[in-house]
Structure 1
Amino acid sequence: MIKLLPILLAVLYGLAMYRFSVWRTARELDANSTELADPILKHITDRMAQALEIDRIKVHIYEIEPVNGLAAPDGRIFITRGFFNKYRQGQVTSEEMASVIAHELGHVALGHSRRRMIDFSGQNAMRTALAMILGRFIPFIGPWIAGVLMSLLAARLSRSDEFEADAYASALLVKAGIGTGPQKSLFTKLEKLTGARGAAVPAWMMSHPKTQQRIAAIEANEAKWAAG
């Protein structure tokens, strides 16, 4: 029983972290967001809502500067103020913004948003337990190895989610009459918009797939749909 105690404590820690993370995320988003009120984007999201056979798609502006979109565990969709500003400045089109919203809708519809929060807490628990175990056999280096292994696992799961959300977004954009052109064109802009230098990072270490891989996956889906 004593040998299992560290693992049990790690599991309890993971559960506690999950509950705390959900509460903290909801509180942060509630305090720093407002509903998106742009007539052009509303028109285009209404087209997507019609394709989904729902009344409306509610989008919020999250008041932070980094360029990003996100889907909260409670199902809400957010575009950051920094991303919205790029749209207002003409660097991103309304159709490209719609592709971001469609992507985040994919995360919600496919259960990624809630699962990511659970995975994050579970991975923290596993990292703690693994660090305890490896630390007994490989002092000092063991906890570092545990951290690297869990980071690789998290990146792999995240990349899988991104491909799935891309496919969902493509299908929705096609059904809404928008097409996948804006989705692909936005990918070519993202590195510049975000200031990222993804080419310097190995693909297997990135939480998002490389641009070329994402575009290739979308085009493969289009070819499959056309053949079907």
Structure 2
Amino acid sequence: MSPRHLIPALLAGLFFSQIHAFDLGGMVKAGSKAVQAATLSDADVKSLSDQACAQSDGESKIAPAKDKYAKRLEKIAKGLGSEINGQAINYKVYLTSEVNAWAMANGCVRVYSGLMDLMTDDEVAGVIGHEIGHVALGHTKKAMQTAYAVSAARDAASSSGTRAATLADSQLGEFTESLINAQFSQSQETDADNYSFDLLTQRKLKREGLVTAFQKLAQLDGGDHSMLSSHPASADRAKNIEQRLAAEKK
């Protein structure tokens, strides 16, 4: 799950330094999509999230309602609430050994059974709160804008004749993967951690699970998802929450 970083100058270089090699009509279409990426409306973001979530669900084994993982997540979810910024949350479990969880701007929250096997209910709640935080704080929308712009650049590279590749078909799978695998900046990760802490506090849930969740993640070897990245390191993230807990006791 590799991060994809968009640098405007690089994108411009792709568009204009190689313009002789591609169809101009296809380049203009792709360039227009890149411009739109910076100004995606909330409706656009929701529509793209709907497509991406459906794409991921279609390629994953989802725990049925009566499955033990689904029942456990339902219990955890009740404590966290049913909305993100007014958007209804749709929780599901993917049956896979992978340790992961993510959320999209349309309220699509997915938790992997591998993560649930590793963690207690309080820890899972803390991780979900973190992923919800990325949505609530606008980080997920920014990641989508970047992913959409990258798909536009690839449209330019594959333009032929009067047709450029479109997100709705050839790019959807890769676009979905880039959203699920999105990595965030150190400040965004810390902000999402603090959002989870505040959410757990508001919902009167135990915050200590955030500490132990990060401690467990710190013991894992590598991993491409942002929750496993070292920016900031999981141990430092646990320390941040410990300091917040300690500050309340003073």
Per the normalisation by structure 2, the TM-score is: 0.56
Match of 2:138 in 1: 111
Calculate percent identity across the aligned residue pairs. 26
Matched, 1:44 2:76: yes
Match of 1:219 in 2: 242
1:166 Cα deviation from its structure 2 partner: 0.6
For 1:70-149, what aligned pairs fall within 5 Å after superposition? 70-84=102-116, 86=117, 91-122=118-149
The structure with higher relative contact order (CA 8 Å, sep 6+) is 2
Contact map agreement 1:163 1:214 (CA 8 A) in 2 = yes
Q: Structure 1 unaligned segments of length 5 or more: list them.
A: 128-153, 199-205
Per the normalisation by structure 1, the TM-score is: 0.61
Whichever structure has more helix as a proportion of its residues is 1
RMSD: 4.4
SS of residue paired to 1:189? helix
Q: Structure 2 unaligned segments of length 5 or more: list them.
A: 1-12, 18-26, 155-181
For 1:1-228, what aligned pairs fall within 5 Å after superposition? 6=16, 11-12=31-32, 14=34, 25-31=52-58, 32=60, 33=62, 38-49=70-81, 58-84=90-116, 86=117, 91-122=118-149, 157-192=184-219, 194-196=220-222, 206=229, 208-222=231-245
1:175 Cα deviation from its structure 2 partner: 2.2
Change (3 A) 1:158 1:24: farther
Deviation digits for residues 3-39 of structure 1, max 9, x if unmatched?
99628867446469999x8576334223124576644
Structure 2 CA distance, aligned partners of 1:50 and 1:197? 29
Structure 2 CA distance, aligned partners of 1:4 and 1:76? 33
Contact map agreement 1:173 1:180 (CA 8 A) in 2 = yes
Change (3 A) 1:44 1:60: closer
Contact map agreement 1:45 1:56 (CA 8 A) in 2 = no
SS of residue paired to 1:195? coil
One-letter amino acid matched to 2:222:
A
Structure 2 CA distance, aligned partners of 1:12 and 1:35? 42
SS of residue paired to 1:26? helix
Structure 2 CA distance, aligned partners of 1:118 and 1:79? 23
Structure 2 CA distance, aligned partners of 1:121 and 1:59? 25
Deviation digits for residues 99-121 of structure 1, max 9, x if unmatched?
11111111121122222111234
One-letter amino acid matched to 1:106:
G
Deviation digits for residues 108-150 of structure 1, max 9, x if unmatched?
21122222111234467799xxxxxxxxxxxxxxxxxxxxxxx
How many residues end up aligned between the 2 structures?
187
Structure 1 CA distance, aligned partners of 2:88 and 2:74? 9
SS of residue paired to 1:190? helix
1:224 Cα deviation from its structure 2 partner: 5.7
Change (3 A) 1:28 1:62: farther
SS of residue paired to 2:53? helix
